Amino acid sequence: MIRRLLLVLALVLPAAAGAQEAQPRSWDQLSAQEQKVLNRFRDQWNSLPAERQQRLLQGAHRWQQMTPQERDQARDRFARWQKMTPEERARARERYERFRNLSPDEQARVRAAYDRFRNLPPERRRALRERWQEMTPEERERARERFRSMAPEERARASGRGADRNGSPSDP
């Protein structure tokens, strides 16, 4: 009996909490700060679904916490997103979802590799991109597997020097 009660509560309480969060708010109920950040939605705010209002409010709160540099970066990312085709956006969403499904250690490794890549000279990054694009899907997968099996110091060396078509470290 207690087990059933706990099961029912476990199912009902999150739904009730979600329902409370998703209550629509009129424009007049928003704080002055929220209205300032969300001003472009003013005319349509009261007709937006509660879930959309909630997402916009969360974004507004994140925006208010950002430094000017972080805001500039967010604007740049948004501009790049707007220029993407629907197919590119779908691929970006898939990559993001795959990243989110990685363990925290794997996410940290991906971030570190990306940081190393970003710190390479532009011509080196271009050469590595071109080499990657020339690889077949099978060659790319072999390169990924080799990279995953390397020790961290080997990964750092391989990232800095690149890899040949078989995924082995090489100079360009």
Instruction: Give residue-wise pLDDT tens across range 48-95.
Output: 999 999 999 999 999 999 999 999 999 999 999 999 999 999 999 999
Are 45 and 53 within 8 A, CB to CB?
yes
pLDDT for residue 2? 52
pLDDT for residue 126? 94
| Bridge partners, residue 163, by sequence | 169
| Bridge partners, residue 169, by sequence | 163
pLDDT above 90 (res 153): no
Angle ∠(60,66,70) on CA atoms, nearest 5? 120
Write out pLDDT tens, residues 21-42. 568 899 999 999 999 999 999 9
Domain boundaries of the chain, sorted by first residue: 86-172
pLDDT for residue 1? 52
pLDDT above 60 (res 11): no
Measured between alpha carbons, how far is residue 152 from residues 44, 94, 112 in Å? 51, 26, 10
Are 124 and 116 within 8 A, CB to CB?
no
Residue 128's identity, in one-letter code, is: L
- CA-CA distance, 67 to 9, in Å (whole number)? 41
* Site of tokens 């790049």: 80
- CA-CA distance, 114 to 128, in Å (whole number)? 13
Element (H, E) at 116: helix 104-118
Give the pLDDT band (50/70/90) at residue 127. very high
Write out pLDDT tens, residues 106-115. 999 889 989 9
Model-level pTM?
0.54
